[in-house]
């Protein structure tokens, strides 16, 4: 009696609170809910007939839906064997997976759990292959090797063991870093002004701006600004231009 009252709904507990005989309680519940089998069975049979493996994207969804329908059928007294489950899965494969369905049939699975386990493993392997393909598609550049990267940056370190020592190692690093030596030869042929521009291009641009500011404006003749951005009034500009044309400068 305690076990039955523990598992029934709270409303039913209050309704059958006066019942003290467990057999009487069981018969009352059976008479009340026995008609539900006639209601659940047609829907469960319809879901079983409409179930298709090809309708699901992942195996776990198909497996959970299958066992949900299976539990309803067993509750209504229907018997579903492993052969029925295997045949249901084989016949509902997608049309593009005919060869795959034939291969699973040739394995000769006797139980449904063996088939679903193989499907889970195949699904995980396919996801891994797709993930590797997306990370590095066909035709993409190779990833740099660790040894090649370390040796490339090793010749640029400081100290005798990092490409600045004497002997064959230094010459080998010089041959490996050929473009660097060419740049050093170009550096020696440059004049002082170009070296300053290479060392600090921002400073060279500032020097040019300072030099341009020192030169008199071509329009008004004043210092401190460029001729393209002058702010002198028009009559001063006219006077300055007229003074340039007059040789005696009597204006």
Question: Is the predicted pLDDT of residue 103 greater than 70, yes or no?
Answer: yes
Average pLDDT over residues 158-186: 49
- Structure confidence at residue 173 (pLDDT): 46
Average pLDDT over residues 224-232: 63
Average pLDDT over residues 80-107: 89
Range with the poorest average pLDDT among 113-117, 129-133, 180-184 = 180-184
Range with the poorest average pLDDT among 11-20, 36-45, 179-188, 221-230 = 179-188
CA angle 229, 234, 239 (to 5 degrees): 110
Average pLDDT over residues 60-85: 92
Higher pLDDT, 8 or 148: 8
- Structure confidence at residue 175 (pLDDT): 46
Q: Which residues, 6 or more positions from 66, have their beta carbon under 8 angstroms from its beta carbon?
A: 51, 85, 88
Q: What distance in Å separates the CA atoms of residue 100 and residue 94, rounded to the nearest whole number?
A: 10
Encoding tokens for residue 41? 């069975």
CB count within 10 Å of CB 217 equals 19
Q: What distance in Å separates the CA atoms of residue 216 and residue 225, rounded to the nearest whole number?
A: 8
Confidence of residue 31 (pLDDT cuts 50, 70, 90): confident
Which stretch, 73-82, 156-165, 175-184, 234-243, has highest mean pLDDT? 73-82
* Greatest alpha-carbon span in the chain: 137
Higher pLDDT, 240 or 251: 240
Question: Is the predicted pLDDT of residue 36 greater than 50, yes or no?
Answer: yes
- Structure confidence at residue 17 (pLDDT): 84
Higher pLDDT, 211 or 31: 31
Tens of pLDDT, residues 39-63: 889 999 999 999 999 999 899 999 9
Higher pLDDT, 154 or 71: 71
Higher pLDDT, 201 or 126: 126
């Amino acid at each position: 009696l305690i076990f039955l009252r523990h598992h029934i709904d709270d409303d039913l507990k209050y309704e059958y609170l006066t019942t003290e005989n467990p057999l009487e309680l069981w018969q009352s519940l059976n008479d009340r809910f026995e008609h539900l089998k006639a209601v659940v069975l047609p829907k469960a049979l319809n879901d079983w007939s409409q179930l298709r493996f090809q309708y699901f994207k992942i195996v776990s969804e198909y497996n959970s839906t299958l066992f949900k329908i299976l539990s309803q059928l067993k509750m209504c007294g229907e018997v579903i064997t492993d052969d029925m489950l295997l045949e249901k899965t084989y016949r509902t494969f997608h049309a593009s997976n005919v060869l795959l369905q034939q291969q699973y049939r040739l394995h000769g699975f006797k139980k449904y759990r063996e088939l679903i386990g193989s499907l889970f493993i195949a699904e995980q392997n396919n996801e891994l292959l797709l993930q590797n393909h997306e990370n590095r598609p066909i035709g993409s550049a190779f990833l740099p090797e660790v040894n090649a990267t370390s040796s490339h940056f090793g010749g640029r370190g400081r100290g005798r063991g990092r490409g600045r020592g004497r002997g064959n190692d230094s010459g080998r690093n010089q041959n490996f870093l050929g473009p660097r030596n060419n740049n050093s030869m170009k550096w020696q042929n440059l004049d002082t002004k170009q070296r300053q521009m290479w060392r600090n291009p921002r400073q060279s641009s500032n020097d040019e701006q300072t030099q341009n500011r020192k030169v008199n404006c071509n329009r008004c003749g004043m210092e401190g600004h460029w001729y393209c951005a002058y702010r002198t009034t028009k009559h001063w500009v006219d006077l300055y231009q007229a003074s340039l044309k007059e040789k005696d400068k009597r204006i």
